[in-house]
Chains A and B, each alone.
Chain A
Amino acid sequence: MTSPLQQKIKITGPSIITANRTWDGAVIYRTGAKGWSDDLSHAAIVRTADEARALLAEAVADDLGAIGPYIAPVEVAADGAVKPGNMREHIRLTGATIALPAQA
């Protein structure tokens, strides 16, 4: 499998690096402080391919903390609020769009 760092990086707007946490698989976001957070608002925002590549390299290097880091689009509102940029990331952030059976 091609390493994410060997893939061509093309971003068209504000983006973040996301992955799953190793011990429990939870969705996490790369922060600007060389760590991870499960809160999207703590994610470091990148706007160029070079910035994305650098942040991705840092994330990939943390093989123990996270699995499968990749670049994902986000929307940044005028007040700085960050939202997922597509349906997949929306579902990863907020959970399944259906009521889970045990909660139904």
Chain B
Amino acid sequence: MYAYDEIDRTLVNERVAEFRDQVKRRLSGELSEDEFKMLRLQNGVYLQLHAYMYRIAIPYGTLSSDQLRRLAHVARRYDRGYGHFTTRQNIQFNWIKLAELPDAMADLAEVGIQSMQTSGNNMRNVTSDQWAGVAPGEIEDPRIWAELLRQFTTLHPEFSFLPRKFKIAITASDHDRAAIKIHDIGLRLLKNEQGETGFEVLVGGGLGRSPFIAKTIKPFVHGHDILSYVEAILRVYNQYGRRDNIYKARIKILVHELGIEKFAAEVEEEWLQIRDGALKIDDGVVEDIRSRFFYPAYETLPAMPDELKQAAHDPKFEAWRKNSVFAHKVQGHAIVVVSLKPVGGPPGDATADQMDALADIADTYSFGEIRVGHEQNLALPHVRKSDLPKLWKALDAIGLAIPNVNLVSDIIACPGLDYCSLANARSIPIAQEITRRFANHDTANLIGRLHINISGCINACGHHHVGHIGILGVEKNDEEFYQITIGGRADEGAVLGTLIGPAVPYGEVADVVEDIVEAYLALRAHPEELFVDTVKRLGVEPFKERVYATR
């Protein structure tokens, strides 16, 4: 967890008071919707199909148990008893009333949760690896730098009216769990030959209507200079980014049209003018932020405790452990991923009761800390291995010991047409049907790692372009159809998937996915060859033939 200082607490409380006044003026008619819209968007308040939607930031995916309990309270008191975790480490409430929003916001502010800049053409929630600070082999905790950037960009006047929204993600591990290559700026923490901390800076990634994988703009920027370098990028974007066409306004279009070399030269020129100015970061600033993060005092524990050896005889426990428990940087401890993808359930949703119970579980087994990942799952970052059997039972009691992390039913899906005013087609029922088709755990295990990502429109909130299997909902003559891509991935080897053929109707999507999976099982070179590797080796043709041979 991160403890806000007095400046942040004041900022958050002042924002609540300001928004309360804005809502009051809107409801009295003093503000028109045209005047109010930008104000509500700057606080994460959208209007969706059925109601307002309130998007709340979970910076770098880190939550305390008290914060999770407060989210449960908001779900129960102001919404319909559940929340939806998104692909950008936010949580959304779908049924909130405008008149009650200031109260919900005030309740959240008491525990340091806010929603500033979760919408609008500004710097969005800075995201990071949900295993930050505990992943083995990590360079250092990337959240410190994410927090630095959060402070720098929050209410920054120069970045409050950008040509379009702007997203930064940071990773510090070889394996990229933060999907940095599909962000406007991706930062990969590394050390130079002198052992100094810095970043490989990538720019121009993004999905949506025109998907691009980010390109490296500078292989090493010293940590002391990262703010000035990010500012230089944003200044060039602010100057040249298109404001005349919303579809061409993201930085990815500018980088693509200018070319990375020309864009980099522009940034370099800007940077040289500001790099030695006020934005130079000294170690004291970094250490102050580091000191505000909570790091548990880990005990010295055995790598393989007796409790774990005994529990290994239970096949249900083992099935869960193999897919949910991951290596921790400290011996005797583990990272536990809590899947929010039950068979037949909406991906990424958690009820208020589950949130409350998970907060209690985190207090007992994870030093009161919970993480949120972009795959729409949660994680407990500090679990003693000896506690795993008891933790598993506690999770099972609330329906969250779901042994499908990284398997075919661990689906990323946007809210789609069931909620979203931008959507063309439904996402959630498609995900639910696919999870039912692959409900058999042995079958899912046999298939192995396979990420299905579903978006209900071209805006790609479900990251369909980078799903191993990507599903995009489109509308044709008032009917839902779905385009299928395969071979995409969002990690350090990020690549966009390839379309396999014509869109298929709603009722056939799960059949198509089954066909693709069956083709993979028949075509893979050996059981350890992952789906994406088979597609990479063979291309899409064999899968296309299988899917369309009978259609």
User: What is the CA–CA distance of A67 and B27 in the complex, to the nearest angstrom?
Assistant: 12
Instruction: Using known A-B contacts A22-B26, A23-B98, A102-B80, determine if residue A63 contacts B49 with beta carbons closer than 8 Å.
Output: no
Main secondary structure of the interface of B (DSSP, over half): mixed
Instruction: Using known A-B contacts A23-B98, A25-B47, A87-B478, determine if residue A101 contacts B351 with beta carbons closer than 8 Å.
Output: yes
The total of chain B residues at the interface (CB under 8 A) is 34
Chain B residues 22-81 with CB under 8 Å of chain A are 26-27, 29, 32-33, 47-52, 80-81
Chain B residues 327-368 with CB under 8 Å of chain A are 345-346, 349-352
Instruction: Using known A-B contacts A26-B51, A91-B418, determine if residue A64 contacts B29 with beta carbons closer than 8 Å.
Output: yes
B419 at the interface (CB under 8 A from A): yes
A68 at the interface (CB under 8 A from B): yes
Binds A, one of B8-16, B104-112, B221-229, B424-432: B424-432
CB-CB under 8 A from A22, the residues of chain B are: 26-27, 33, 98
Q: Assess the A67–B349 pair: CB atoms within 8 A.
A: no
CB-CB under 8 A from A98, the residues of chain B are: 346, 418, 428-429, 432
Q: Assess the A25–B51 pair: CB atoms within 8 A.
A: yes
Instruction: Using known A-B contacts A25-B51, A64-B29, determine if residue A101 contacts B99 with beta carbons closer than 8 Å.
Output: no
B417 at the interface (CB under 8 A from A): yes
Apart from A20-B51, A24-B52: 12 A-B pairs, beta carbons within 8 A: A23-B27, A23-B98, A24-B98, A26-B50, A27-B49, A27-B50, A68-B47, A86-B478, A97-B426, A101-B81, A102-B80, A104-B345
CB-CB under 8 A from A102, the residues of chain B are: 80-82, 351-352
Q: Assess the B97–A24 pair: CB atoms within 8 A.
A: yes
- Point out which of A68, A95, A98 has the most chain B C-beta atoms below 10 A from its C-beta: A98
- Can you report 14 A-B residue pairs in the complex whose CB atoms are below 8 A from each other? A22-B26, A24-B52, A24-B98, A25-B50, A25-B51, A25-B96, A27-B49, A67-B33, A88-B417, A96-B419, A97-B426, A98-B346, A101-B81, A104-B345
User: What is the CA–CA distance of A24 and B48 in the complex, to the nearest angstrom?
Assistant: 11
User: What is the CA–CA distance of A91 and B425 in the complex, to the nearest angstrom?
Assistant: 11
CB distance from A47 to the nearest CB of B (A): 19
A92 at the interface (CB under 8 A from B): yes
CB-CB under 8 A from A100, the residues of chain B are: 80-82
CB distance from A92 to the nearest CB of B (A): 5
CB-CB under 8 A from B350, the residues of chain A are: 101
CB distance from B256 to the nearest CB of A (A): 26
Chain A residues 50-97 with CB under 8 Å of chain B are 63-64, 67-68, 86-88, 91-92, 95-97
User: What is the CA–CA distance of A101 and B96 in the complex, to the nearest angstrom?
Assistant: 16
User: What is the CA–CA distance of A22 and B432 in the complex, to the nearest angstrom?
Assistant: 33
B26 (CB) vs chain A CBs: closest residue: A22
CB-CB under 8 A from A87, the residues of chain B are: 417, 478-480
B75 (CB) vs chain A CBs: closest residue: A102
CB-CB under 8 A from A23, the residues of chain B are: 27, 97-99
CB distance from A21 to the nearest CB of B (A): 9
User: What is the CA–CA distance of A86 and B479 in the complex, to the nearest angstrom?
Assistant: 8
User: What is the CA–CA distance of A74 and B248 in the complex, to the nearest angstrom?
Assistant: 35
